Amino acid sequence: MVLPGNCSTSAALCMQFLTQLAAVAIDQAYPAVPNDYHLPNKKLFVSYRSVPPPAPSPSSAAVPIRFNSYSSVGSNIRGLNSQTLHPGSMEPPLTPGNYRLYSMRFCPYAQRVLIYLAKKNIPVEVVNVNPDRSPNWYLAKSPIGRVPALEINGKVVWESNVIVEYLDELFPTTTVLPRDAFEKAHQKILVERLSPIMNALFEFYSSMSNQQAQRQNDMNVHSALRNAENLLRDSFYGGRQPGYADYLIWPFLERLQLLTMTQNSQFRYFPGLHYPKIGAYIARMQNQPEIKFSSRPLTHHKAYLDSFSMGMPNYDFGIYGKS
């Protein structure tokens, strides 16, 4: 059985799939309250439209191309905080030979790809789309409007794990996955073995407002952390340096820290003193340039999650300076 490694329609956090399987009632019965995060007159972050695409490089017609002309991690990525496109939005023109990532700013699966793109220093333009109600032209690229999706010269690849492996094949000199077949398989297996971290995040999202369910979820988080603590045998799951498993799991660990801001959870610190290796691991990960670049403040995650819980997901939270 396969669950998608992506964010998808109808709930923006793969919730539609959890809902289908588990009858999680995430988007029901929340009172509609005013959403005041959206203040379009205070632009602070760079928005998509404010950065015109660069003139195409003469060599960019060939694919793949590896650029090394950027000095700081993430400077190869434009439009990270571009305004979200909704039904009715025009499709921004894509220069042939350029990579484009369709994303949603708070999607953990899209963050996996962003970390990879930053690490590998691949020039890319990010276009943020509403994964719940996407523009019609986007549905032609990604069935049911899922993000993330990577486009190049009319070819579209989706599923976060498929995209990052595709990037490693296109740009083998900066491969994140090990070249050795067994080590490569081992990294993929590690992601699977760390999947309780991912499951715990989805359970947390679905049980946030229910005290009893959140107690149970706290126990699941403890179990996932114990498991993660046992599996960490070096500085990173990839060894001395962060690897595929680290990058694929990180977005979920980043968001699990929201537990400390949730009344119904007993986590006041994350991961807490019981998990010294994971505590040190999180600090090490947060020091990696590609993680720093891709991460968002916990207050932003919290604001997005609150808006999502109220049935009015604010995909543009933070773009305009309110945080």
**Counting contacts by CB under 8 A, is residue 21 touching a second copy?**
yes
CB of 3 to a second copy, least distance (A): 4
Distance CA 115, CA 76 (A): 12
Q: What is the identity of the amino acid at 142? A: S
Distance CA 41, CA 196 (A): 41
Please choose, out of 16-24, 30-38, 81-89, 268-276, the segment that lies near a second copy by the rule CB under 8 A.
16-24
- Choose between 203 and 316: whose C-beta lies nearer to a second copy: 203
From candidates 138, 166, 236, 250, binder to a second copy by CB under 8 A = 166
Does the annotation mark 107 as catalytic?
Answer: yes
- Gyration radius from the chain CA atoms: 19
> CB of 113 within 8 A of CB of 160?
yes
CB of 39 to a second copy, least distance (A): 33
Distance CA 286, CA 284 (A): 5
**Counting contacts by CB under 8 A, is residue 163 touching a second copy?**
yes
Please choose, out of 54-62, 77-85, 87-95, 197-205, the segment that lies near a second copy by the rule CB under 8 A.
197-205
**Counting contacts by CB under 8 A, is residue 189 touching a second copy?**
yes
**Counting contacts by CB under 8 A, is residue 174 touching a second copy?**
no
**Counting contacts by CB under 8 A, is residue 70 touching a second copy?**
no
- What residues from 126 to 155 belong to the interface with a second copy (CB under 8 A)? 143, 155
**Counting contacts by CB under 8 A, is residue 159 touching a second copy?**
yes
**Counting contacts by CB under 8 A, is residue 28 touching a second copy?**
no
Closest CA to 38 of 293, 313, 277, 309: 313
CB of 76 to a second copy, least distance (A): 20
Selecting among 11, 13, 107, 197, the annotated active-site residue is: 107
- Choose between 122 and 319: whose C-beta lies nearer to a second copy: 122
Please choose, out of 27-35, 81-89, 119-127, 194-202, the segment that lies near a second copy by the rule CB under 8 A.
194-202
**Counting contacts by CB under 8 A, is residue 3 touching a second copy?**
yes
- Choose between 10 and 89: whose C-beta lies nearer to a second copy: 10
| Cα–Cα separations (whole angstroms), residue 242 to 87, 109, 188, 224, 251 | 38, 17, 14, 20, 14
Checking DSSP bridges between strand 77-78 and strand 149-152, what pairing results, if any? Answer: unpaired
CB of 15 to a second copy, least distance (A): 10
Distance CA 54, CA 246 (A): 32
Contacts to a second copy by CB under 8 A? 1-5, 14, 17-18, 20-23, 143, 155, 157-159, 162-163, 165-166, 169-170, 181-182, 184-186, 188-189, 191-193, 195, 198-199, 202
Catalytic residues: 107
